[in-house]
Chain A
Amino acid sequence: DGGITQSPKYLFRKEGQNVTLSCEQNLNHDAMYWYRQDPGQGLRLIYYSQIVNDFQKGDIAEGYSVSREKKESFPLTVTSAQKNPTAFYLCASSIGASGRYEQYFGPGTRLTVT
């Protein structure tokens, strides 16, 4: 299951704190994505990046921020502005556009904010 990694597996934070989730891939993929998974809600797109130094908002970007300074890394920051941050966060990557190439998912980070 190498190729795309996320750390840590479990993360606990107090309300009001920003927290950054790590996503690294060694697949030489250009595109990277962040999804949020809640019970019974499927996966919802937060942000995606086609290439280094470029990223776009997904369907639920409010309260989140990202950066793409390196091809292999796409960290996600959950800010205190996110109303319901407790969720399972999945990072994914693909060679290129999702309409042409498979998205490979990382193992996920379960964030709990109390």
Chain B
Amino acid sequence: GENVEQHPSTLSVQEGDSAVIKCTYSDSASNYFPWYKQELGKRPQLIIDIRSNVGEKKDQRIAVTLNKTAKHFSLHITETQPEDSAVYFCAASIYSGGGADGLTFGKGTHLIIQP
């Protein structure tokens, strides 16, 4: 089955600086890559996603890039703010036109924004 590796496990950056979290996946058939943010004690929430027919996607301060050849994708957060402090999870899944399937998640990155 699919395996998703995520690095680093902890990332500390100064407020205002950029943060980058990287993930690799093993199954070349994977074609959907969401990123979830989980604040302490709360449920994970989708912040951005990308499909395999796109190389990059942006939403204000957040961007995701995908390299299908190398089977890796990254989350970029610019101008970090205190409210960006959370655990971020990458995930991968395969959509083939059939029914629902679950997501395979990375182990998470604890992002700490230093004031």
Which A residues lie at the B interface, using CB under 8 A? 1, 30-31, 33, 35, 40-45, 48-51, 58-59, 90, 94, 96-100, 102-103, 105-108
Contacts and interface: CB of A to CB of B under 8 A. Distances in A.
Contacts of A35: 102, 105
Contacts of B81: none
Given A98-B32, A102-B49, A31 B106 contact: no
Contacts of A51: 99
A50 B43 contact: no
Contacts, number: 78
A97 B43 contact: no
B102 A45 contact: yes
The 6 closest A-B pairs by CB, nearest first: A99-B95, A31-B100, A50-B99, A45-B102, A99-B32, A105-B43
A62 to B, nearest CB: 15
B101 A44 contact: no
Contact of B105 (A42, A102, A106): A42
